[in-house]
Amino acid sequence: MTSIELDHVVMRYDGARAAVDDVSLEIEEGEFFVLVGPSGCGKSTLLRLLAGLERPSSGAVRMGGDDVTALEPRQRDVAMVFQNYAIYPHMTVRANLGYGLRVRGTAKRDIDARVDEVADLLGLREVLGRRPGTLSGGQLQRVAMGRAIARRPRAYLMDEPLSNLDAKLRVSMRAELEQLHRKLGVTTVYVTHDQVEAMTLGRRVAVLRGGELQQVAAPQELYARP
Ligand code: ADP
Ligand code: ADP
């Protein structure tokens, strides 16, 4: 778990307009924070800055007080979850869930235990031996999340993780996500272009437009604005 802080962050890809324009923001340890805005407003860029995958043109991103660009990837230790799953099709669900731990050299016995735990949490126990090609969309998304969770990172960065699912599944997965967050309490930054999703999920919601932070407030306060 960790706090995340953006301090006057500007990100310019190539001269012209800033994709992220002077954003300052503090996300508390254990918070479920939602970032909402239309396509092209800079959400993915902001997430990549948080993950340390991009270096800000100016300003600083801090995680637990440390500048992320000064941290080794292993120290940053964030897990990203995307809409396109990023699941390995040739591996079983068990192997997919354990992947992040395996590449870090975790002992097999510990990986198995952790994978079982995550499978129970996400209702994947019955499909551990199967390959992704045989799973439903909801199950695939759970595997993607499970892989992020299994590593027990300091923070989750989620980029529209539910946007490929049908409406009904999206609603039930939102509820699952909330439950999961209550259980694990890991700092989460959740990016979406879907206002309803933002209002339902976030305790605090940041609205991004044209790279600028327009407001940060509780959902009911956002509604109240003209
Ligand atoms: P989304 O809107 O879902 O964030 P995009 O389709 O805009 O995704 O972008 C997909 C990928 O293309 C991202 O990795 C992004 O960094 C890259 N990308 C987007 N716009 C540009 C651009 N103008 N030049 C180069 N890469 C871009
Ligand atoms: P969102 O995730 O909200 O759709 P992005 O962060 O993907 O927004 O994009 C914000 C702006 O930055 C857009 O104008 C996009 O074209 C531009 N952009 C994103 N990635 C790149 C890139 N790798 N190179 C150049 N421009 C990019």
- In tens digits, the chain (226 residues) has pLDDT values of 789 999 999 999 986 789 999 999 999 999 999 999 999 999 999 999 999 989 999 999 999 899 998 888 777 788 888 776 678 999 999 999 999 899 989 999 999 999 999 999 888 999 999 999 999 988 998 898 888 888 888 899 999 988 877 888 888 888 888 988 998 899 999 999 999 899 999 889 999 999 999 999 998 888 655 4
Question: DSSP alpha helices (H): ranges in 79-215?
Answer: 93-102, 108-122, 137-150, 167-184, 195-201
Tell me if ipTM is over 0.85: no
Which residue's C-alpha comes closest to atom 10 of ligand 2?
42
Which residue's C-alpha comes closest to atom 23 of ligand 2?
13
Which residue's C-alpha comes closest to atom 24 of ligand 1?
13
Q: Which of 44, 45, 82, 208, when mutated, tests ligand 1's pocket best, judged by the most ligand atoms within 8 Å of its CB?
A: 44
- Cα 8 to Cα 11: distance, rounded to the nearest angstrom: 10
Residue-wise burial string across 129-152, b where 16 or more C-beta atoms lie within 10 A, e elsewhere? eebbeebeebbbbbbbbbbbbbbe
- Ligand 1 centroid–CA 192 distance in Å is 15
Q: Is the dihedral of CA 71, 75, 78, 84 positive or negative?
A: positive
